[in-house]
Amino acid sequence: MINKLNEECAVFGVSVKSEDAAGIVYNGLLALQHRGQEGAGIAVLSRQAIKMHKDMGLVSEVFHGERIIELSPAHLAIGHTRYSTTGNNTKENVQPFVTEYLTGRIAMAHNGNITNAKVLRDELFSEGIDFVASSDSEVVSALMAYYIVKKKNTIEGIIAAAKELQGAFSIIIMTSRKQLIAIRDRHGFRPLCIGKNEAGMSIASESCALDSCGFHFVRDICPGEIVVIEDGKEIFSEKVLDSSDISMCIFEYVYFARQDSVLDHQSVYKARFEMGRVLAKEAPIEADAVCGVPDSGLEAAVGYAEESGLPLISGFAKNRYIGRSFIFPSQAQRENAVKLKLNPMRVNIEGKRIVLIDDSIVRGTTSANIVRALKEAGAKEVHMRISSPPFRFTCHFGTDIDNEENLIANRMSLNDIRKQIGADSIAFISVDGLKAACADCSLEFCTRCFTGYEKNEQSNCNKRELED
């Protein structure tokens, strides 16, 4: 069962004049590591052949030693960091996927969740197509290869395949014909953007990866749009998937995206800062100081402190070298696990009434451990403030939310949650308040995990933006 929400996957691709495409993608994946830590992979087009390396682990673990040199020289490359939402956590399910067909090969990387993957898999299997993995992304790659052969045209085949897909997808494809292709689902659930520099162009899940690799942000890819890049230049773009239901996942701004990214015109840092300000207006409290839970609560804590006039303090020292491996042989060690990563700063919190800001509460276990650690360090009171509304519904589009019966907001009243985590008070931001904090976003939002429904409104990602 899940204590905190987990990251999404990330995609990154480049088409450049230089021969170091693999190294650029490696750096891009490092910048996007926060979106998935289970596995990583890079595929390149080198001397007319697609080569690939992928494995379980962090980017730096998968591509240690000579791996990047083995993937060079290359002008074209794509990469992926994985957090599994469908399919087992095995090497076979790590992306990219390379699919061979009669007239060529494609490599594909995908962020999202295809809700009709089983139906498509069964249909492709009946056509004689075999599968080696259990991921919906392998189905997408096979479907695209199938339609490329059927249409006898790469772009038309990818478009035809995309029209069959239901759910969330931000996809990049590398072809053996030296093309880098990107397509975003008709709803715009997951982010995807374009960068450019003197060497060529890149596609990334977040703009922070463009910055890290020396590309200037050009624009977001609009929902339903396909973009084709060849020899470092954009040669074609068009909106090919129609929808009146534009629904960017609002939790990208709460937690998934890196704070220095800009997604669909909305600064992630500014959105989180405004969430804190909204919380201070919606749920004020008499206290002595404000602190955020590293790292996801820090920006909202700044906003809460500014709006409330309370001083902002550093509440925790974070162990940045602990990695992913925890060993808890006893219940007592499990209960104190939070201190391995976050140790309270007694000098800042002892004897004080603390407003504690975090991004979410899923089951409540992590929050209870953090509140207890603060009180053991001498906090007089701990008032919990959460920058997302209570989670009540499972997501079908790639956000790894626990089963609804395990979500604390479905099992307890607000006061019972307060008692469960040991806080002196608790408040969640409202859905309207969260939307207001993200008001610069050019798309409408999916808030189904909070409300159980999606608002159907048209995006203002318009024709002018496509033409630009």
**232/344 Cα distance (integer angstroms):** 49
d(CA 319, CA 306): 27
Question: 191 exposed, middle or buried (CB, 10 Å; 0-12, 13-18, 19+)?
Answer: buried
Name 364's Cβ contacts closer than 8 Å, sequence gap at least 6.
408, 417, 420, 421
Kindly compute the dihedral angle of the four CA atoms of residues 79, 82, 85, 88, in this order, to the nearest 10 degrees.
110
Cis peptide leading into residue 96 (ω within 30°):
yes
Q: How far apart are CA 84 and CA 94, in angstroms?
A: 9
Rg of the Cα atoms in the chain: 23
* SS3 state of residue 42: strand
Alpha carbons 305 and 308: distance in angstroms, whole number: 5
Pairing status of strand 76-82 against strand 200-204: unpaired
Q: Is 9 a catalytic residue?
A: yes
Q: Annotated catalytic sites, by residue?
A: 9
